[in-house]
């Protein structure tokens, strides 16, 4: 029995802003993730032998696509590129890009590599919200000679001297500060950016009542500067996804009348997943917890926002619930605008910072935390912040340049403590992304790709052993043979001109059902114009499954010399057919005329510029005035001005 499983992937994605039709599947930006338990037949097999291919039905060709497998368990991801071979388990993850998917391939279409039929393959069907389908196929290929796709979407660059460590995507470059937080973002010129950093910093604000060893302080302000790396970070560098993980600690200073001290407390690890166009960001912030030294007693305000570089030119900010009053967004110019701070709860929200150097699109699913509803934070001002209560001192360059994000008010601590995971997806895109594109991306998150994984065996219902095409004048003769057939309904013969995009079905040849001996088939494609033609067979099973043959090429070339065939039938009454050829080197005008026994012109059938090719014309027995001719002997003459060919014919009544 064939195994089938259905799974969902996360955020569905938008087309690139440059594409005119958002519904095109090839414009999707999302990565597809398949768990190892969906590929159960490959359990225990080495990662390096599991490959993903796309099929091109027009070219009848397979192409390997970039993919990776991450070694992971319930909690951690591990590098899969180490010298020690890795074997597939149920928790491992196979990744590839949705936009690399191709066409449907029947079970008779198989990659040509040795050993690929020794195990089943997996068909991965991707369906978007409007029903468009694309397919990919995972194979176990023990042949070491398979040529890999050289595309490497992601790369990690460690710290080198004074240069920070960086995530280098084909579409963006993101660098970290020494504590592991974002330091700069730039978009390459080739991806519609300008190679210049347009990002200032990720800003975190937490105003809370905190105690340490029994000493308490109110309205203690924590910022991104209070969060420090707790040891070295780990990273996994793959073609599709780069994962960076490091432990965090929070450093807090307590000052009272009788006590002053600085304390550090480890908190949950920070795991950032980077894909070719976006980052999945989840930052754990404590609402109330009792650590070894620090206890958060009350959170009065909590904010996470992204601030941009003042030198970034021509910037605008858009938000999904602010378009009604600012349909063109607001200018980022250090003159603050009053924007709507409303956010949709239990729904996807977005805000967009777009400029000539690049665009940062934030998408997040928001809901109240401990009964507190968040609001949009926006501050575009050379001093201070827009926070309420306590200090309003800023961090970094002490200014806000279109600083945009999310803010919670007072949160009542819960017994036992815990963290708020503020989870977002950040898209790093080219210059001046439109709010329509942002809205489309947000909307598609509600309708993620549906992924169906099917195990498929290597049954070959029809074994095609020969397929040939030969040309005779303007007719192409096709012949093929099968060694055996199982439930073979028949063959559709398909043709297309070499320069055309689409195939045309020109015939259906009935199959022989189920047989174990050789069967031969033929088809003649007659009366063709000059040109180069492609042919293929579509073999169809009785259950509707089908497979394509290889593609053959045949040419109808121009005749080498002018010729005139004997008319048929002859004798005739009242009509007859005349075939003739016009050579490549014929003169400018070709004529075909009929004469009586006295040499008088009875009918001129052809008088036109010479075009090389094969022709057939019918004479209806009438003269140039439309009168029916009598019985007798007639002559017909083909001439190109330099050569003449004459034949005799007889009309009887």
Give yes or no for residue 552 having a pLDDT over 50: yes
Residues 60 and 13 in one domain: yes
Residues with Cβ within 8 Å of 230's Cβ and at least 6 positions away in sequence, in order, are 246, 247, 248, 249, 266
Name which of 341, 316, 351 is nearest 331 in CA terms: 316
CA within 13 Å, CB half, 351: 28
Is 15 part of a structural domain of the chain? Answer: yes
Phi, psi of 48 (to 5 degrees): -65, -15
Q: Is the pLDDT of residue 106 over 90?
A: no
Query: Given a cut of 90, is residue 445 above it in pLDDT?
Result: no
Confirm if 426 and 451 have CB atoms less than 8 A apart: no
Judge if 488 and 581 occupy the same domain: no
Q: Which residues contact 379 (CB under 8 A, 6 or more apart)?
A: 336, 385, 386, 400, 403
Which of 537, 556, 575 terminates a domain? The answer is: 556
User: 466 is in which domain, residue-wise?
Assistant: 462-556
Domain boundary (514, 533, 556) is at 556
Residues 543 and 645 in one domain: no
Residue 427 domain-assigned (yes or no): no
Q: Are 480 and 496 in contact (CB under 8 A)?
A: no
Q: What is the pLDDT of residues 40-92, one digit of tens each?
A: 889 888 888 899 999 998 888 899 999 999 887 655 666 555 556 788 888 89
Check which CATH number belongs to the domain holding 468 and give it: 2.60.40.10
Left if phi > 0, otherwise alpha if psi is -120 to 50, otherwise beta: which for 327? alpha
The answer on 518 and 592 residing in a single domain is no
Among 119, 114, 66, 65, which residue's Cα sits nearest to residue 88? 119
pLDDT band at 27 (very low <50, low <70, confident <90, very high): low
With beta carbons less than 8 A apart as the criterion, state whether 431 and 393 touch.
Answer: no
How far is Cα 246 from Cα 159, in angstroms, rounded to an integer?
15
Residue, of 263 and 93, whose pLDDT is higher: 93
Q: Which of 556, 584, 599 is the last residue of a domain?
A: 556
Alpha helices in 216-279 (DSSP H): none
Mean pLDDT of 413-421: 58
Which of these, 224, 254, 308, 236, lies nearest to 77 by C-alpha position?
Answer: 236
Q: 126 - beta bridge partners?
A: 134, 451
In a domain, 114, yes or no: yes
Tokens of 93: 């993850």
What confidence score (pLDDT) does residue 492 get? 94
**319 in a structural domain:** no
Mean pLDDT of the 297-325 span: 83
Q: What share of the chain in percent tops pLDDT 90?
A: 35
pLDDT of 186 over the 70 cut: yes
Cα–Cα distance measured from residue 264 to residue 284, given in angstroms and rounded to the nearest whole number? 16
Q: Quick one: DSSP state of residue 163?
A: B
3-state secondary structure 468-505: EEEEECCEEEEEEEEEEEEEEEEEEEEEEECCCCCCEE
109 and 21 in a single domain? The answer is: yes
| pLDDT (mean) for 367-378 | 81
Do residues 485 and 465 touch, judged by C-beta distance below 8 A? no
Angle at 19 between CA 17 and CA 22, to 5 degrees: 85
pLDDT in tens, 124-166: 999 987 788 899 999 988 876 677 888 889 999 888 777 788 9
The reported pLDDT for the residue numbered 21 is 36
3-class SS at 145? coil
b/e sequence 385-422, b meaning 16+ C-beta within 10 Å: bbbeeeeeebbeeebbbbbbbbbbeebebeeeeeebeb
Same domain, 516 and 636: no
Structure pTM? 0.68
3 pLDDT higher than 80: no
Round the average pLDDT of the chain to a whole number and report it.
83
Q: What is the CATH number of the domain that holds 634?
A: 2.60.40.4070
pLDDT band at 12 (very low <50, low <70, confident <90, very high): very low
pLDDT, residue 422, reads 65
Instruction: Specify whether 532 is located in the same domain as 579.
Output: no
Domain count, the chain: 3
Cα 500 from Cα 532, distance rounded (Å):
10
The confidence score (pLDDT) of residue 9 equals 35
**Residue of 66, 62, 15, 7 lying closest to 38 (CA atoms):** 7
Tell me if 537 is assigned to some domain: yes
| Nearest alpha-carbon partner for 559 in 647, 478, 474 | 474
Residue 88, CB half-sphere, CA atoms under 13 Å: how many? 23
**Terminal-residue alpha carbon distance, the chain:** 72
Q: How confident is the model over 548-573, as a mean pLDDT? A: 89
pLDDT in tens, 85-105: 788 888 899 999 998 999 998
Q: Give the length of the chain.
A: 653
C-beta contacts of 493-496 below 8 A and 24+ residues apart: 493/523, 493/525, 493/535, 493/537, 494/535, 494/536, 494/537, 494/538, 495/525, 495/533, 495/534, 495/535, 496/533, 496/534
Cα(278)–Cα(427) distance, integer angstroms = 4
| Selection from 291, 243, 244 nearest residue 267 by Cα | 291
User: 146 or 576, which is more confident?
Assistant: 576
CB 565 within 8 A of CB 579: yes
Are residues 91 and 145 both part of a single domain?
yes
Same domain, 625 and 525: no
Do the domain assignments include residue 582? Answer: yes
Residue 631's pLDDT is what? Answer: 93
Long-range contacts at 380-388 (CB < 8 A, ≥ 24 apart): 380/317, 380/330, 380/332, 380/333, 380/334, 380/335, 380/336, 380/337, 381/334, 381/335, 381/336, 382/334, 385/205, 386/336, 387/205, 387/207, 387/301, 387/303, 388/301
- Contact (Cβ atoms closer than 8 angstroms) between residue 306 and residue 396: no
Cα angle: 150, vertex 152, 155; to 5 degrees: 145
* Confidence (pLDDT) at 95: 94
* Same domain for 568 and 551: no
Angstrom distance (rounded) from CA 464 to CA 1? 26
**Co-location of 27 and 141 in the same domain:** yes
For residue 437, which phi and psi values (nearest 5 degrees)?
-65, -40
Is the residue at 433 inside a domain? no
Average pLDDT of span 381-399 = 71
The pair of three-digit structure tokens given for residue 149, joined into one six-digit string: 């796709």
- Is 58 domain-assigned? yes
pLDDT at 421: 60
Q: What pLDDT, in 10s, does the model give residues 270-286?
A: 788 999 999 987 765 55
On whether the CB atoms of residues 298 and 209 are closer than 8 A, the answer is yes
Q: Which two tokens stand for residue 72?
A: 């992971």
Cα distances (angstroms) measured from residue 127 to each of 98, 231, 420: 10, 43, 33
Residues 598 and 549 in one domain: no
pLDDT band of residue 18 (cuts 50, 70, 90) is very low
pLDDT in tens, 453-510: 998 876 556 878 889 999 988 899 999 999 888 889 999 999 999 888 888 999 999 9
Q: What is the pLDDT of residues 323-368, one digit of tens each?
A: 999 999 999 888 889 999 999 888 889 999 998 889 999 998 877 7
Residue 15 pLDDT class (50, 70, 90 cuts): very low
Q: Which candidate, 14, 97, 18, 28, places its Cα nearest to that of 363?
A: 14
* Cα 275 versus chain centre, distance: 13
């Amino acid at each position: 029995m064939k195994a089938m499983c259905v799974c969902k992937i996360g955020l569905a994605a938008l087309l690139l802003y440059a594409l005119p039709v958002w519904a095109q599947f090839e414009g999707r930006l999302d990565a597809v993730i398949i768990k190892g338990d969906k590929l159960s037949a490959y359990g225990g097999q080495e990662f390096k032998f599991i490959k993903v291919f796309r099929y091109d039905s027009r070219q009848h060709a397979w192409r390997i696509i970039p993919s990776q497998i991450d070694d992971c368990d319930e909690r951690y991801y591990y590098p899969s590129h180490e010298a020690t071979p890795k074997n597939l388990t149920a928790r491992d993850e196979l990744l590839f890009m949705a936009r690399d998917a191709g066409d449907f391939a029947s079970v008779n279409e198989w990659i040509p590599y040795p050993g690929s039929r020794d195990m089943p393959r997996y068909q991965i069907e991707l369906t978007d919200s409007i029903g468009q389908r694309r397919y990919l196929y995972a194979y176990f290929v023990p042949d070491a000679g398979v040529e890999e796709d050289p595309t490497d979407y992601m790369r990690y660059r460690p710290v080198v001297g004074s240069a920070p460590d960086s995530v280098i995507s084909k579409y963006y470059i993101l660098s970290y500060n020494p504590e592991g937080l974002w330091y700069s973002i730039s978009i390459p010129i080739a991806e519609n950016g300008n190679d210049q950093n347009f990002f200032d910093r990720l800003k975190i604000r937490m105003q809370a009542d905190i105690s340490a060893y029994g000493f308490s302080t109110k309205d203690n302000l924590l910022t991104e500067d209070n969060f420090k790396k707790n040891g070295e970070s780990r990273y996994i560098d793959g073609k599709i996804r780069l994962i960076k993980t490091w432990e965090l600690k929070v450093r807090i200073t307590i000052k009272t009348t009788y006590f002053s001290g600085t304390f550090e407390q480890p908190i949950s690890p920070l795991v950032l997943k980077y894909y070719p166009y976006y980052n999945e960001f989840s930052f754990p912030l404590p609402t109330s917890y009792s650590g070894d030294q620090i206890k958060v007693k009350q959170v009065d305000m909590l904010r996470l926002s992204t601030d941009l570089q003042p030198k970034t030119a021509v910037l605008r900010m858009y938000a999904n619930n602010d378009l009604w009053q600012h349909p063109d967004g607001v200018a980022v110019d250090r003159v603050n605008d009053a924007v709507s701070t409303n956010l949709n709860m239990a729904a996807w929200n977005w805000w967009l910072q777009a400029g000539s150097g690049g665009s940062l699109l934030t998408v997040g699913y928001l809901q109240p935390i401990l009964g507190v509803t968040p609001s949009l934070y926006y501050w575009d001002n050379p001093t201070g912040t827009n926070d309420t209560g306590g200090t309003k001192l800023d961090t970094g360059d002490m200014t806000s340049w279109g600083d945009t994000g999310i803010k919670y008010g007072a949160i009542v601590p819960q017994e036992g403590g815990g963290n708020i995971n503020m989870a977002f997806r950040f898209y790093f895109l080219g210059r001046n992304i439109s709010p329509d594109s942002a809205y489309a991306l947000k909307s598609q998150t509600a309708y993620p790709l549906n992924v169906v994984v099917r195990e498929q065996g290597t049954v070959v219902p029809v074994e095609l052993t020969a397929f040939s095409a030969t040309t005779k004048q303007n007719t192409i003769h096709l012949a093929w043979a099968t060694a055996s057939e199982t439930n073979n309904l028949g063959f559709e013969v398909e043709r297309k001109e070499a320069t055309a995009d689409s195939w045309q079905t020109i015939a259906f040849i009935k199959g022989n059902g189920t047989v174990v001996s050789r069967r031969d088939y033929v088809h003649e494609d007659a009366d063709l114009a000059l040109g180069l033609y492609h042919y293929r067979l579509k073999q169809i099973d009785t259950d509707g499954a089908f497979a394509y043959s290889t593609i053959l090429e045949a040419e109808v070339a121009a005749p080498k010399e002018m010729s005139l065939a004997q008319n048929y039938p002859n004798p005739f009454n009242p009509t007859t057919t005349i075939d003739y050829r016009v050579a490549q080197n014929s003169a400018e005008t070709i004529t075909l005329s009929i004469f009586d026994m006295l040499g008088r012109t009875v009918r001129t059938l052809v008088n036109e510029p010479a075009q090389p090719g094969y022709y057939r014309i019918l004479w209806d027995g009438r003269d140039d005035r439309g009168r029916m001719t009598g019985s007798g002997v007639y002559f017909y003459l083909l001439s190109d001005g330099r050569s003449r060919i004459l034949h005799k014919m007889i009309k009887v009544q």
